[in-house]
Chains A and B, each alone.
Chain A
Amino acid sequence: DVVLTQTPPTLSATIGQSVSISCRSSQSLLHSNGNTYLHWLLQRPGQSPQLLIYLVSRLESGVPNRFSGSGSGTDFTLKISGVEAEDLGVYYCVQGTHAPWTFGGGTKLELK
């Protein structure tokens, strides 16, 4: 199975600070069809996960544009440009290029 390694495991930020989360894959996530099935989720405390970014860099409808995704192959990054209080929670990368789908271990974003 593909292993997704997220760093850092915990991130402390102040409101307005810009932060980045890394997701590294044990295998290239470029599918033979040209798509890279790497997505980012946010799980707020006590809630279900929600989709933020799909296919590496596409912003899900309704998600603020302070969120952005980038990367290719095995290295991916989620950036939050100006953290807001509602952004606190655990961020997960998830890959669907190789079956079975796998999730990163999560990055907990908390207030400093």
Chain B
Amino acid sequence: QVQLQQSGAELAKPGTSVKLSCKASGYTFTSYYIYWVKQRPGQGLEWIGYIYPGNGGTYYSEKFKGKATFTADTSSSTAYMLLGSLTPEDSAYYFCARGALDGSYAPDYWGQGVMVTVSS
């Protein structure tokens, strides 16, 4: 069955970076988009962007350019998001999701989310 397994919670200091992982299983990793979504506690969802592991192509929402960097390791079917120059505003849950292959690109499977806390 399709699963997206995200790495554990992170506690980081302002100005540092964290690298979040999203390990895919149960499907052909290189054939589907991976989206990244931010959710601050008690708030709504915010789309960060995507990576297409098949060719490494990426797209970033303007707000997250320079903040997030996506990569993918096809040998381990794992997508990564590096968040740099952390500030308290980066404290949030981060989800990865798969984009459906049926032409809808809808986010059909989601990881369990990972909480990032930025604090000195």
**Partner-B contacts on A (CB < 8 A):** 35, 37, 39, 41, 43, 48-51, 54-55, 58, 60, 92, 94, 96, 99-106
- For window 13-61 of B, CB contacts with A under 8 Å fall at 35, 37, 44-47, 49, 59, 61
18 CB contacts below 8 A, A to B, read: A37-B105, A41-B107, A48-B95, A48-B113, A49-B45, A49-B95, A54-B100, A54-B104, A54-B108, A55-B104, A60-B106, A60-B108, A94-B45, A100-B49, A100-B61, A103-B47, A104-B44, A105-B44
- How many residues of chain B have a CB within 8 Å of chain A? 23
A51 x B62 contact (CB < 8 A): no
Report the separation of the CA atoms of residues A54 and B113 in the bound assembly, to the nearest whole angstrom.
22
B95 x A101 contact (CB < 8 A): no
Report the separation of the CA atoms of residues A37 and B105 in the bound assembly, to the nearest whole angstrom.
8
Smallest CB separation, A43 vs chain B (Å): 8
Find A100's partner among B47, B104, B106, B107 (CB 8 Å cutoff).
B47
A106 x B44 contact (CB < 8 A): yes
B108 x A49 contact (CB < 8 A): no
Find B108's partner among A37, A43, A51 (CB 8 Å cutoff).
A51
